[in-house]
Amino acid sequence: MKPEKQPVPFTILLADDDSDDCSFFEEALAKFPIPTQLTFVHDGEQLMKLLTKENTQLPDVLFLDLNMPRKNGFECLSEIRLNRKLDHLIVIMYSTSLEPEVVNQLYKNGAQYFIRKPSEFSEFKRIIQQAITRLTQNLTNEKQGSFPQPDRENFVLTVQNDLIS
């Protein structure tokens, strides 16, 4: 084992119009051991403007809410996957409801994961932390930006006890 350098924070971009959800997200990462840097955008237009800006530093992961004003998560995902500069960006879709048809379509459109926002805060915290843990583990193993899409049955992330022990 090499001695660890000053850790580079794991950058997270959260696109969610709901400020409560943003603060839940912030709260969920409050005592998280992995250093993270969280940025917010509050609608799809703002998101796309930020991502396509000249010389922009892309985040390690984008948490993309489905229901947003002006441009929804669905449209943003399609635009991201059609943009050659963005097509390797890791996108975790993130929504209150779970519609099988919607989830199928998002999988087809190339999102990495789907998370249903839990209603118990403890679960909320766990699932966000688990997802980030999984991604950071992956980052150490693989080249950044080439995170493969999982199988369909693993597309929807659920709280897993084994990962949080």
The span from the CA of 113 to the CA of 46, in Å, is 22
Q: Please report which helix (H) or strand (E) contains residue 40, including its range.
A: strand 36-41
The one-character DSSP state at 9 is P
Residues in binding contact with other proteins, number by CB under 8 A: 17
Residue 119 in the binding site for other proteins (CB under 8 A): yes
The span from the CA of 66 to the CA of 101, in Å, is 14
Q: Please report which helix (H) or strand (E) contains residue 108, including its range.
A: helix 100-108
Q: Which stretch binds other proteins (CB under 8 A): 16-24, 56-64, 77-85, 137-145?
A: 16-24
Contact letters (x/-) for other proteins, 134-163, by CB under 8 A? ------------------------------
Residue 75 in the binding site for other proteins (CB under 8 A): no
The span from the CA of 106 to the CA of 66, in Å, is 10
The span from the CA of 128 to the CA of 137, in Å, is 14
From 26, 27, 87, 142, residue interacting with other proteins (rule: CB under 8 A): 27
Residues 34-63 that bind other proteins (CB under 8 A): none
From 10, 13, 14, 21, residue interacting with other proteins (rule: CB under 8 A): 21
Residues 96-115 that bind other proteins (CB under 8 A): 96-97, 99, 101
